Structure formats: C-alpha cells, structure tokens
Structure 1
C-alpha cells in the first residue's frame, strides 16, 4: 500500500464526521489541520463551566488565624464572624460564654431557612468543660436550628465542603486564640 492510498483511507474513514483533513507529505511531519466546523451543531451543545468561576460568587474561607478569616476571593474579616454564602457579618461575641440565642437570632430569621449552622468555637481545648456544657444547654433552646459545634479549623473546612455542594448553610466562627495557634505551630516543628 502506498502512502497516497493510506492517506485516502485515513481521510475517508477516520475523519469523515469531523471534517478534518489529514495532510501527509513524505517530506514533512504529519499534521492535522482543523476546519471551523464541528461534529455536533444542534440544540443543547455541550458547555463547560470552570469551577473557579462558579464558586467565585460564594464566600469560601481560605485561612483562619488569631486575627480573623481570609477568603478565597479576596476579602479579609477580622474577629468573630457570621457567614452566609454571599454575606459576612461581624459577630459581637468574644468567647463561647457570650453565645446566646439572641446572638444567633439572625439564623432564625433568615428565609429560606438554612439546613445547618456550623459553629466554630476556636479550639475546644481552650475552653473549660463547664463553658462547653453551658454552650450546649444554650443551643438546645434553639429547636428550629440544626447546629454542629466544632473547632474553627474543622468548621470552616466543613462549611466550604457543604457550600461547594450547594447546600443552604450558615456559619458562626470565632477566630483561633493566639496561644492555641502558637502551640499548633510549635508542635509541627517536631
């Protein structure tokens, strides 16, 4: 079989539907020349959505430290925050002892109702057992909210994961205490 016959077979069979031309010149390398037409040009063309563009409209937490929270799309919020997919609010609490049903009233009033409130309390080892028990008793009064309490690092990770799954969620986060942050850094040296 000659090179010319081989070229015709490839041109006629393999690229019939794609309307591409295979150019084979014995003196040059094989190259493929694309024309401007495509296989499928009917209704419902396939589209691609870039994930970065899709999630850029949501406020996803990028990092947390003792000063506050930085977000993947740019802003920085200092201190404790209340977070919804598109809004950030400063939260006027300093410790878990300041968390009351009144401090979480925004989550009860918002429509549509959120599926879950993720509460990041800094670091659990920082708070006394009595404070944690009081917080749990306080949160049991809020019967119309599902609340998950966890350390802030885990809480923001869970928030980001659920947000990327398009869930209706909210977050209330305390930043990490400075002493705890330093202990975590020191323990990673060894």
Structure 2
C-alpha cells in the first residue's frame, strides 16, 4: 500500500514537471510575469523642467511676436533671459547684433559662463558668429549662436543645471509645426468647444 502511494506520488510529480502539449513555453526564470519585474506603485513620473518655477525662469513657448515663460509671463519682442530675471533686448534682427547690443552681458555680476543667442529661424551666418565669439572671448564668456528654437532648449537645460547662463532671443519670422503641435492644437480646440 505504501509502495503504491509512492508510485502515484512520483507519477504526479513527473507530470507536474513535464510540460503538456497545450503549454506553449515552459516557465523559466527568463519568462517571469511582469508584476514581479517592477516592485513599485506602477506609476511613471515625469518631470518637465520648464514648468517648475523653483528652477528659475525657463522658456515654455515662443511665437512670431514673443515668448512665454514658465511663470505664465508673456513677453513681446526680443528679450534677454537670465536665471531669475528678464529684460527687453533692443534689436530687431540678427543684423542689429553688435558689440553695443551685447555690452550688458560682460558687465553682469555674478559673471555668466555661457551666453546663448537665438537669432530667429535662419541659420547663424558664420561672420556674425565669429564676430560675437571674438567679442565675448575678451571677457571669457562662452557663446553659442543658434536658431531661436534651439537656443530656448539649450537655455532651459543649462538653467536647470544651475549654470550661470544668459540667453538673448529674437522671435522667429516663420514657425515650423510638427505632429505634436498639431495634436496639441486639436486637443485644445476640442476642450474649448466641449459642452458640459
């Protein structure tokens, strides 16, 4: 009787160890359920730098007329943005950028490490970049001359890293749209016209 019980138990254990034909893949350490792979609350958290006001001023948007900052301030025309303040910049186009229009940046205290210049939507002319770099080199300030879209992103990134950075921006004449911009506009339009 005891021997028979042992044989039945051995058969059952073998049948548990052997996969049946209906099982597509054996359970191995590499095929664990997803619930065991992630032990946290299951929520993904994303931080968007340019919406956090404790990181200083950041540029959240721009248009042909001006710029929007993360404190919901809208500024018209060319501007100079610093980590905690903003000023109007008296230029109309990249041709107006001279040593006089840049004279504010070397006089700032504490001294800035990087000056980012956004010249609108055209590519920076090499002669302009060279002239600006040579002028700022006298004051040991690094300069990046970029399109406005790239300048805004670069300023936000460096400001989030607590670098001593300043940004001088000219609004672009023409705007380019991507799929995300179109989707956001449709969602905003739907939200505006929804009735309760």
* TM-score, normalized by the shorter chain, greater than 0.5: yes
1:138 partnered with 2:131: yes
Match of 2:31 in 1: none
The alignment partner of 2:136 has SS state of coil
Larger relative strand fraction? 1
Report 1:1-190 matches (<5 A). 55-56=53-54, 58-125=56-123, 132-139=125-132, 140-143=134-137, 144=139, 145-177=141-173, 180-181=174-175, 184-185=176-177
In the TM superposition, residue 56 of structure 1 has moved relative to its aligned partner by: 3.4
Structure 1: 5+ residue stretches without partners = 1-50
The alignment partner of 1:124 has SS state of coil
Tell me the C-alpha RMSD between the 2 structures: 2.5
Q: Is the 8 A contact 1:79 1:174 kept in 2?
A: yes
Deviation at 1:138, TM superposition (A): 2.2
Quote the Cα distance in structure 2 between the aligned partners of 1:163 and 1:137. 25
- How far the C-alpha of 1:103 sits from its partner, in A, is 0.5
Structure with bigger gyration radius: 2
Q: TM-score, normalised by structure 1?
A: 0.62
Count of aligned residue pairs for this structure pair = 130
Q: Which region of structure 1 is more displaced relative to structure 2, 95-104 or 141-150?
A: 141-150
- Which 10-residue stretch deviates more, 56-65 or 93-102? 56-65
C-alpha distance in structure 2 between counterparts of 1:70 and 1:54, whole Å: 14
CA distance in 2, matches of 1:79, 1:66: 8
TM-score normalised over the length of structure 2: 0.60
Contiguous gaps of at least 5 residues in structure 2: 1-48, 183-196
Does the 8 A contact of 2:53 with 2:71 survive in 1?
no
Name the CA distance, whole Å, in 1 between partners of 2:51 and 2:66. 25
Q: Distance in 2 between matches of 1:73 and 1:57?
A: 11
